[in-house]
Amino acid sequence: MGFFSKDIKTLDDLFVHTLRDIYYAEKEIKKALPDMIEKATSTELKNGFEMHLRETEGHIDRLEQVFEMHGEKAKAVNCPAIDGILKEANEVAGDIDDKQVLDAALIAAAQAVEHYEMTRYGTLVEWAKQLGRDDCAAVLKKNLDEEKATDKKLTVLAESSVNLAAAE
Ligand code: FE
Ligand code: FE
């Protein structure tokens, strides 16, 4: 379904469409993370990805909760944006032999994913409020906050050790 599809008439329709988009994205991220855990060399990075895999499962659960609260069936729609981000991450990782450089690339890819999620959740929280669904907004905000925290942790890890190791 494209953004200008006639199926989206109201802000509520757009809200539900975007929920389905991020639901798809979260599921794809859940599938991609085990591979990133395997590729990571830094123990801290591996642990960080493992923790975020568990959080991602929680994000999927919360989204299902929001669908239910909003009286909609939990359904995913294709999200070409996350497909592209994950495809690019895979392609770049496949071209890197040096383990430390690969760690730096994995962090960069993961941060692209987190930022995508942050834009979606940021928008969804505001639309939920506008639609009078403060209850949905509160649940979505929990996902948003965890994505932001993950992004920050990745920045700290990159700046404190991984980038330095990659440059050596
Ligand atoms: Fe997430
Ligand atoms: Fe995330």
What single letter denotes the amino acid at residue 148?
K
Residue 37 maps to a domain: yes
Residue 143 maps to a domain: yes
In terms of residue numbers, what domain contains 139?
11-167
User: What is the total count of domains within the chain?
Assistant: 1
Q: Give how far the C-alpha of residue 130 lies from the chain's centroid of Cα atoms, to the nearest Å.
A: 23
CATH number of residue 64's parent domain: 1.20.1260.10
Tell me how far the alpha carbon of residue 94 lies from the centroid of ligand 1, in angstroms: 24
Tell me how far the alpha carbon of residue 147 lies from the centroid of ligand 1, in angstroms: 6
Residue 162 maps to a domain: yes
Over residues 67-120, the pLDDT tens digits come to 999 999 999 999 999 999 999 999 999 999 999 999 999 999 999 999 999 999
pTM higher than 0.85: yes
Ligand 1 being an ion, which residues bring their Cβ within 5 A of it?
56, 59, 117
> How far is residue 121's CA from residue 116's CA, in Å, rounded to a whole number?
9
Residue 2 maps to a domain: no
Residue 5 maps to a domain: no
Residue 4 maps to a domain: no
Residue 3 maps to a domain: no
Over residues 4-22, the pLDDT tens digits come to 556 899 999 999 999 999 9
* 58 alpha carbon, closest ligand: 1
What mean pLDDT do residues 33-50 have?
97
Residue 85 maps to a domain: yes
Least confident of 6-10, 35-39, 62-66: 6-10
* 110 alpha carbon, closest ligand: 2
Tell me how far the alpha carbon of residue 57 lies from the centroid of ligand 2, in angstroms: 10
Burial 6-36 (b: 16+ CB within 10 A, else e): eebeeebeebbbbbbbbbbbbbbbeebbeeb
